[in-house]
Amino acid sequence: MTQNFKSVAVIGAGTMGSGIATVAARGGYQTIINDVTEERVQRGIDTVTGFLRKSVKLGRLSAEQGETAISQLVGSTELKDLADCGVVIEAVFEDVKVKQELFRELDGIVSDRTLLHTNTSTLSVTGIAAGSRLPERVVGTHYCNPAPLMKLVEVAAGRHTADWALEASRDFLESVGKTTVTTKDRPGFIVNRFLIPWENNCIRALENGLGTKESIDLAVTGALGHPMGPFRLLDIIGLDIHQQVALRLYEQLREPRFAPPPMVDRMVAAGDLGRKTGRGFYTYDDTRLFGS
């Protein structure tokens, strides 16, 4: 390994941030979870802790492994707390200005060898890296949702990403049990190029009355071998996130299959965003940010 990864930070304690923090803590790293308010940080920590305890109950982790991972979590609302981190992973809103500003601020705080990872779904890694004085250490690492369960992470270099940063990023991801695929810095990378049109098709099938949400989910898990049906998955992803990613890809690629179907717009307008609001395609008592 070319880097000291002892301590990792995840900025943004939402759906993806809490999932990625789970991966880092479970992988043995001290993991700082940073967000803009104490409340959001605590929600993220509760989500990670809940997931790890459930993993122990399900026999996926020993009680000791679970408690060790939980003891690695540190909450933070100040970027200066991240000064000693070897890897900083941003999972904040999908807004290039917010991400650039974050990396600009981090430049003055972390060491020049600290890896800056962006978990963007649709933005250009090169564009985000332009916010940093040292774009060579900025790498696109796109986790799949739910991050603690999905093994794959797409790795994309920006125009100025250095080979050492790519290599060290892959080392880090492998050390937390992830499989990586390398892709180009293009809208949607590999996974969303396939996933978004497919999810849209499932939603259109539901709108057209081809089946109920339950029957479509069952057809997909039972016949296609997916671990989860499209509507369960969309509820975990968040309908707002799906809408935003689909629209961004549609705007960039100009192919109608990427455009979000009207049902998505109606659900977002109603606040039925999925698991995080307790109601999406299905309803939930447990609004923790990702399933287990």
Q: Which residues bind ligand NAD (CB under 6 A)?
A: 11-17, 34-36, 40, 91-94, 98, 102, 119-121, 142-143, 145, 237-238, 241
Residue 99 and residue 90 in contact, taking contact as beta carbons nearer than 8 Å: yes
Shortest distance in whole angstroms from residue 30 CB to ligand NAD:
18
Shortest distance in whole angstroms from residue 41 CB to ligand NAD:
9
**Of 36 and 63, CB closest to ligand NAD:** 36
**Of 12 and 27, CB closest to ligand NAD:** 12
Among all residues, which ones are annotated catalytic?
121, 142, 154, 192
